[in-house]
Amino acid sequence: MAGAFDIVEHYNSLIKEDASISAPVAAVGSLVKLIEKQNATTMLEFMMIARQACDRLKKATDNSISLSAGCDVFLKQMSRLAHAQSVEECRKALIKAGTDFVQGAGRCRDIVAEFGSPFVRDEQTILIHSYSRVIMGLLGRAVTQNKRFRVYITESRPDQSGLRAAAELQRLGVPCEVILDAAVGYIMEKVDMVLVGAEGVVESGGLINKIGTYQLAIIAKAAKKPLYALAESFKFVRLYPLSQYDLPTHRSDLLSFKEKRADETDWQAELSRSNPMLDYTPPGFITLMFTDLGVMTPSGVSDELIKFYLD
């Protein structure tokens, strides 16, 4: 293997260094570092090392969905470049492409914001779920365009990331309120549109996101409010979940009626231990998606994925 270089360590340090970096981008960044350091002599060995590193990365982190999107893009690029004359040539091309990808990734959020900004209008009430950097980008842009709007933010248990979003929006001068996750149905009447981010966008056009997104989407649909999902294209993953339990993050011990002794059970602690962190929202609940490739219908997403992976 690559000797002293530990890809997981590098990945973690990248995430720690820059709070705004996304998992897939950090994954590609680490993979580039890896192939810079290793010195395989045959193409086969070269590809094997990269594949193993991807597997290691996926296993090592709890947030493997969006990370695997980055790994997949990298591996696909590698197989495209396998026609190259020599290993050295392939390595160089891959490093160049990977570095460009990491550098370009920051711009993705701005492009999403640009595509999404006509949808944010004056006097709107927006409901957002949890904390998402790309939503912050869009709303931040709307603020600089002098749009006046109000934002409800779900608290988003168990990590209460909604509070972070609220603090950030408040700093931007946007009137905001944090609501309980259980109050989504209560507040929906007052809302003009719902914005959600995505951990990953899957082949069906649905999305995987922080727990609570699915129920939010169901309520929005029932109330006939538009729900827009925001995602950078490097979050498109090759998965086709048919139910909530098809996600790679699913574990059989989640909410599984384990035998518990009445006197030893701490329900409060049990709560975050046995609850899932992500859920899957089917495409039927999503009005439109704002991505850096443009505004899309959910079915447009599968098109992009097929175009990328099957050409």
Partner 1 sequence: MESPTSPSSQFSREAAIYVDGFITRLRRGQVVEAKRLAMETVNLVEHVISISRWNDVETLSELIRAVGRKLLIAQPRELLIANVICRLLRMVAEESESVKFVEDGWPAREPVREPPSVSSAKSCETPGMGLGQSGALLTRTFAEQVASQLEVESMTLQGFKNNIRNEIEEYIEELENVEANIAKSALEYIHSNEIILTCGRSRTVEQFLRTAAEKRKFHVIVTETAPTYEGHEQARALADVPNIEVVVIPDSAAFAIMSRVNKVILGTRAVMANGGLVAVSGTHMIAAAARHHSTQVVVCAGPYKYSPWFPSSDDCFNTLESPDAVLPYREGDLVAAVDVVSPRYDYVPPELVDIFVDSTGGHLPSYLYRLLRESCDEARDLSWGIHE
* Positions that interact with partner 1 (CB under 8 A): 28, 73-74, 77, 80-81, 83, 85, 92-93, 96-98, 100-101, 104, 117-119, 121, 233-234, 236, 288, 292-297, 299-300, 303-305, 307-308, 311
Distance of closest approach, residue 34 Cβ to partner 1, in angstroms: 15
- Cβ proximity to partner 1: between 279 and 304 the closer is 304
- Cβ proximity to partner 1: between 49 and 90 the closer is 90
Q: How far apart are CA 213 and CA 1, in angstroms?
A: 40
- What single string gives the DSSP state of each residue in 166-210? HHHHHHHT--EEEE-GGGHHHHGGG-SEEEE--SEE-TTS-EEEE
- What single string gives the DSSP state of each residue in 14-52? HHHH-TT--HHHHHHHHHHHHHHH---SSHHHHHHHHHH
Distance of closest approach, residue 211 Cβ to partner 1, in angstroms: 26
SS3 264: coil
- Cβ proximity to partner 1: between 93 and 183 the closer is 93
- Cβ proximity to partner 1: between 77 and 274 the closer is 77
Distance of closest approach, residue 53 Cβ to partner 1, in angstroms: 16
Distance of closest approach, residue 83 Cβ to partner 1, in angstroms: 5
Q: How many CA atoms lie within 13 A of 188 on its CB side?
A: 19
Distance of closest approach, residue 140 Cβ to partner 1, in angstroms: 18
- What single string gives the DSSP state of each residue in 285-306? G--EEEETTEEE-HHHHHHHHH
- Cβ proximity to partner 1: between 154 and 302 the closer is 302
